[in-house]
């Protein structure tokens, strides 16, 4: 980006910017036609876009100003926003192209926005899980393996994600390959990492204890993700359904994981000891005793190698995960100022506002089994009523946090899947 790095070649190395920002103004809108929104947050929105060759991509559009600041204008963007975007781009370019990470194609900026052009995925993890016909522990294990493969690569290139959760896992292709997404809170492992970042139920104890941490904070988050998918509940919880209480339970280790399944499922429907052993290794409270992403892949292998034919369906665990709020209910930002500004920028180039008729192609094969040789046992696609998915009274608050950004007051149901950040 113009703040620190500037390079539109996704395969090239990061280098300091040699071009003034003015030389790159409006490049994005000349090259891309914006389409329907995929998600909105306080600081950013993700939209579909089409390039000159009609290739469909996704674009993360980040406002250059924090909420409450006057925009637009000719003055420079907020320095903190600029620094955050700089770090996101730097980390993303280090990650490069990998089977289990969403790829960054280009980055642009103008006097109002930053634009991160990325690979468009086919579906969210939730969409795939809800329509997977054989949601056994082995099938879930295959999805978790993809996530761990992505994490292993991140850590290998020196990046710590800091916000591993189900909503930051997208799926691509006929095999529903899982890819890690959203590197907005990522950091370089070569620096001392401090501060509270991410989404409370997935934060590690060392992060909440406000001591330095490393890439194993991601392994913990992945362990929480696996726990909630396999058991239908969070490993740490509090009777008080508040962000503060949840973070305190994780920080102090109270209400420790009991590895009991979501209520009303029945004891005969539960993950095996293989799953428990894997999750326990990821959730060691002491980082030195916790597995790395590479070691976790090895620990998961017995789950992958198991015979799936007699495994029960774990679809009810997905219901439990939805019930406790493991997946965010996407909140659409009502601030129309950004949309109006984007419409005006598109109007100058394309002679009309954003093309909201441009939508993501409908997938007809989300339920396709990933293993061609394991068709003996089939389960009906899972369905959940809308009221179950949005029952705020039973959900754990989901506020994405960054201690270095302005504080925000949120209600329990006021959640955001993109970039809400807060400070205690």
Write out the binding residues. Answer: 60
**Cα three-residue angle 403-106-421, rounded to 5 degrees:** 15
Q: How far apart are CA 44 and CA 186, in angstroms?
A: 16
Dihedral sign, Cα of residue 85, residue 35, residue 29, residue 112:
negative
CA distances from 273 to 280, 285, 309 (A): 10, 20, 17
What CA–CA distance (Å, rounded) separates 81 from 392?
Answer: 31
Q: What is the dihedral angle through the alpha carbons of 314, 131, 383, 125, rounded to the nearest 10 degrees?
A: 80
Cα separation, 276 vs 270, in Å, equals 10
C-alpha neighbours within 13 Å on the C-beta side of residue 63: 25
Residue 422 and residue 196 in contact, taking contact as beta carbons nearer than 8 Å: no
H-type alpha helices, 351-392: 386-389
Beta strands across the sheet bearing 123-124: 123-124, 169-172, 177-180
175, 250 in Cβ contact below 8 A? no
Residue 143 corresponds to which tokens in the numbers above? 């999805």
DSSP code, position 268: T
Strands 401-402 and 197-198: antiparallel
- String of b and e for 134-153 (b: at least 16 CB within 10 Å)? bbbbbbbbbbbbbbbbbbbb
Please state the residue numbers annotated as binding site for ATP: 60
Give me the DSSP letters along 111-149.
SSEEEEEEPPPSEEHHHHHHH-S---HHHHHHHHHHHHH
């Amino acid at each position: 980006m113009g703040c620190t790095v500037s390079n539109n070649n996704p395969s090239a190395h990061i280098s300091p910017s040699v071009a003034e920002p003015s030389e790159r103004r409006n490049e994005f809108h000349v090259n891309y036609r914006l389409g329907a929104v995929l998600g909105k947050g306080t600081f950013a929105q993700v939209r579909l876009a089409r390039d000159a060759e009609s290739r469909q991509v996704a674009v993360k559009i980040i406002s250059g100003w924090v909420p409450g600041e006057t925009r637009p204008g000719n003055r420079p963007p907020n320095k903190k926003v600029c620094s955050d975007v700089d770090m996101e781009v730097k980390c993303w370019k280090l990650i490069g192209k990998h089977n289990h990470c969403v790829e960054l194609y280009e980055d642009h900026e103008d006097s109002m926005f930053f634009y991160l052009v990325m690979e468009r995925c086919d579906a969210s993890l939730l969409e795939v899980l809800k329509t997977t016909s054989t949601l056994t522990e082995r099938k879930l294990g295959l999805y978790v393996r993809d996530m761990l493969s992505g994490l292993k690569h991140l850590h290998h290139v020196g990046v710590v994600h800091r916000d591993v959760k189900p909503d930051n896992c997208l799926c691509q292709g006929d095999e529903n390959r899982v890819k890690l997404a959203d590197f907005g809170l990522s950091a370089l492992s070569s620096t001392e990492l401090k501060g509270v970042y991410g989404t409370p139920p997935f934060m590690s104890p060392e992060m909440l204890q406000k001591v330095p941490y490393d890439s194993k904070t991601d392994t913990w988050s992945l362990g929480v993700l696996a726990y909630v998918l396999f058991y239908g509940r969070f490993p740490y919880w509090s009777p008080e359904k508040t962000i503060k209480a949840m973070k305190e339970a994780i920080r102090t280790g109270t209400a420790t994981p009991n590895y009991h399944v979501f209520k009303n499922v029945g004891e005969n429907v539960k993950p095996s000891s293989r799953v428990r052993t894997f999750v326990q290794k990821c959730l060691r409270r002491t980082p030195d005793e916790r597995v790395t992403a590479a070691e976790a892949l090895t620990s998961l292998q017995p789950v992958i190698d198991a015979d799936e034919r007699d495994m029960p369906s774990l679809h009810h665990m997905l219901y439990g995960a939805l019930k406790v709020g493991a997946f965010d209910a996407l909140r659409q930002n009502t601030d129309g100022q950004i949309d109006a500004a984007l419409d005006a920028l598109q109007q100058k180039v394309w002679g009309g506002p954003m093309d909201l008729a441009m939508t993501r192609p409908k997938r007809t094969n989300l339920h396709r089994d990933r293993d061609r040789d394991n068709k003996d046992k089939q389960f009906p696609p899972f369905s959940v009523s809308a009221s179950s998915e949005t029952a705020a009274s039973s959900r754990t608050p989901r506020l994405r946090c960054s201690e270095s950004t302005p504080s925000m007051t949120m209600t329990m149901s006021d959640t955001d899947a993109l970039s809400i950040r807060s400070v205690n």
